[in-house]
Amino acid sequence: MTDQPPAQYAGPKRVLSGVQPSGDLHLGNYLGALVKFAKLQHETPTLIFVADMHAITVWQDPKKLKTQVREIAAAYLATGLDPKIATIFPQSAVPEHAELAWVLNCVARLGWLDRMTQFKDKAGKHKERESVGLYTYPVLQAADILAYKATHVPVGDDQKQHLELTRDIAQKFNNDFDAAGFFPLPEALTQGPGARVMSLRDGSAKMSKSDPSDNSRINLTDDADAIASKIRKAKTDPEPLPETMEALAERPEAKNLVAIYAALAGRPEAEVLGEFAGQGFGAFKPKLADLAVSVMGPIGGEMRRLLADPAEIDRILGDGAARAREIAAPTMAEVKRLVGYWAG
Ligand code: ADP
Ligand code: TRP
């Protein structure tokens, strides 16, 4: 029959991602996410939002939240997102995220959410004290993506499981509501040298905003002295750098610094090792610090410049929200019809 929707999603390619406004952005966010956003906008229609609804799954000071949203927006702009090309907006300015999340909460199964490792990591031993929102966080994430029928989602490695869940939810929605091909099954774009940047203090833990030690991460707003000092203090071992990547396998801290150098320089790790093999960290660290300062320094400066004019950031976010709604509203209208809601 020709009037049946295609079984496979046949809509256009669309990129979407977001970052929570819940702390300073760091090198891991930059290499794992922001760098990719700026690149992808030139290839595919791209929507990038600030996830303030996700942020309140843990306590946020209401007096600071708007400023935090502007800071993430400034980071997007300072790392090369162009509001004339990409759609940049705050999640809470588009009510369809919350509306779709409710429907998807009724599609997702408890058993699926029980497997989410990010919840287990964040909740620790006292999950009964966490918000219900933290538990159902990945369903809101699925709604963020599916409201725009996004097909590609650039994120760091740690988000892979949430993307798998999004696909499961999309597939079940399509099946349950007899709507084959309605939602795409979106793909995580995690490839790239900075997909998993590790802590500077512990090569087995991911660099994270929530690490209590500020020395574990390089923040986008760190000045040259702070960057150099954190790299100088970074945990390493007494051995010189080896010739091959295989020889780094058992040296997580050394491996991480080489990977950071390669990602910042846009060069393969093997090539970096070729240059530094045989040298100790006394020689390597100052080179890495110079490189990090040359890449990150201007970003921090640009963020400060942008944040001096909050009205301009708000204008960009308002404009982005209006454009985002134009895409999300028709999706939501169709979802309501498929579900059989009273209100359409
Ligand atoms: P954090 O884990 O520091 O709280 P977020 O969860 O807000 O950071 O992550 C925002 C984006 O940055 C996501 O796409 C996430 O996958 C990516 N990201 C976070 N930490 C890292 C890291 N250490 N290495 C690579 N990407 C990361
Ligand atoms: N959960 C993501 C993170 O912690 C942020 C996020 C929320 C997101 N919604 C999203 C990322 C939708 C990609 C697509 O980083």
Q: Is the CB of 231 under 6 A from ligand 1?
A: no
Which atom of ligand 2 lies at the shortest distance from residue 29's CA?
Answer: 15
Residue owning the nearest CA to atom 8 of ligand 2? 18
pLDDT tens digits for range 273-285: 999 999 999 999 9
Q: Which of 52, 137, 144 to mutate to test the pocket of ligand 2 (most atoms within 8 A of CB)?
A: 144
pLDDT at 6: 56
pLDDT at 3: 56
pLDDT tier at 140, thresholds 50, 70, 90: very high
Q: Is the CB of 153 under 6 A from ligand 2?
A: yes
Ligand at minimal distance from the CA of 217 is 1
Which residues lie closer than 8 Å to 258 by C-beta, 6 or more apart? 241, 248, 269, 272, 273, 276
In whole numbers, what is the pLDDT of the chain averaged over residues? Answer: 95
pLDDT tens digits for range 29-84: 999 999 999 999 999 999 999 999 999 999 999 999 999 999 999 999 999 999 99
Q: Which residues of 329-341 are buried (b: 16+ CB within 10 A; e: fewer)?
A: eebbeebbebeee
Tokens 């597939």 sit at which residue? 171
Is pLDDT at 171 greater than 50 in this prediction?
yes
> Among 161, 56, 40, 173, which residue's Cα sits nearest to residue 109?
173
How is residue 118 written in tokens?
């990010």
pLDDT at 193: 80
Q: Is the CB of 20 under 6 A from ligand 1?
A: yes
pLDDT at 1: 46
Reading phi first (left if > 0) and then psi (alpha if -120 to 50, else beta), residue 143 is in alpha
pTM of the model: 0.94
Q: Is the CB of 29 under 6 A from ligand 2?
A: no
pLDDT tens digits for range 226-263: 999 999 999 999 999 999 888 998 999 999 999 999 99
Which atom of ligand 1 lies at the shortest distance from residue 19's CA?
Answer: 10
Q: Is the CB of 4 under 6 A from ligand 1?
A: no
Give, as one character, the DSSP assignment of residue 87. Answer: E
Is pLDDT at 343 greater than 90 in this prediction?
no
The fraction of the chain above a pLDDT of 90, given in percent, is: 90
Which atom of ligand 1 lies at the shortest distance from residue 158's CA?
Answer: 16
Question: 275 near 239, Cβ under 8 Å?
Answer: no
pLDDT at 38: 96
CB atoms within 10 A of CB 147: 27
pLDDT at 7: 64
Which atom of ligand 1 lies at the shortest distance from residue 194's CA?
Answer: 25
Active site residues: 122, 206, 209
Which residues lie closer than 8 Å to 150 by C-beta, 6 or more apart? 14, 15, 16, 47, 184, 186
pLDDT at 245: 87
